Amino acid sequence: GENVEQHPSTLSVQEGDSAVIKCTYSDSASNYFPWYKQELGKGPQLIIDIRSNVGEKKDQRIAVTLNKTAKHFSLHITETQPEDSAVYFCAARNGVTGGGNKLTFGTGTQLKVEL
Amino acid sequence: DAMVIQNPRYQVTQFGKPVTLSCSQTLNHNVMYWYQQKSSQAPKLLFHYYDKDFNNEADTPDNFQSRRPNTSFCFLDIRSPGLGDAAMYLCATSRDRASHEQFFGPGTRLTVL
């Protein structure tokens, strides 16, 4: 089955700096890669996603890049703000018939944006 | 606003005492999921429904059962909770089989005494 690794497990940045979180996946059949933000005591919230036919996607201060050959994808947050502090999860979805809509999550990155 | 609702937000039960967690959705989505998330870990899929078609993950313990009486509601039953079942339980939905995006509820924090 799919295995998703995520690094780093914790990340501390100064307000206004950029933050980068990286994930690798094992199953070349995976074709959808979402990123979720989870604040303390809340459910994960989708912040951006990318499909395997696209190399990069951007939404304001957030961007995601995908390298299918290397099987890794990254989340980039620019001009970080204190409200960006949360746990971020990457995930991968296997698009092969029978894999269904199952998401395999990475282990999470605790991002702390310091004033 | 269309959303995924979980009740209760916090649930305390005793070791071995059955407990039921509930999830409802106003999105009219076909697919519903239950995840278990332990402290500082990633969500782990327990099972999911495509409409009424139930799909159990291979490593989900028999202690966990689920019911989906209609499109809007889904229940997670833990027949004999153990201390190791203390976790956040997350419900999520997808529009249909082809949809990628999953929408999560706020979760129910289960404590087992």
| CB contact A108 to B (< 8 Å) | yes
- Residue B108's nearest CA partner among B47, B35, B44, B57 is B35
By C-alpha distance, the chain A residue nearest B10 is A41
Q: Which tokens is A43 given?
A: 């459910």
Q: Which tokens is B37 given?
A: 């998330």
CB-CB under 8 Å, A49 with B100:
yes
- Residue B25's nearest CA partner among B64, B56, B70 is B70
How high is the pLDDT of residue A8?
97
CB-CB under 8 Å, A43 with B104:
yes
Q: What's the Rg (C-alpha) of chain B?
A: 13
Q: Which of A43, A101, A102 sits opposite B90 (nearest CB)?
A: A43
The Cα of A14 is separated from the nearest Cα of chain B by a number of Å equal to 23
Provide the residue-wise pLDDT of chain A in tens; the chain has 115 residues: 789 999 999 999 999 999 999 999 999 889 999 999 999 888 999 999 999 888 999 999 999 999 999 999 999 999 999 999 999 999 999 765 455 568 899 999 999 999 9
Q: Which of A101, A102, A109, A110 has the highest number of chain B CBs within 10 A, making it the mutation to test binding with B?
A: A101
C-alpha A68/C-alpha A71 separation (Å) is 5
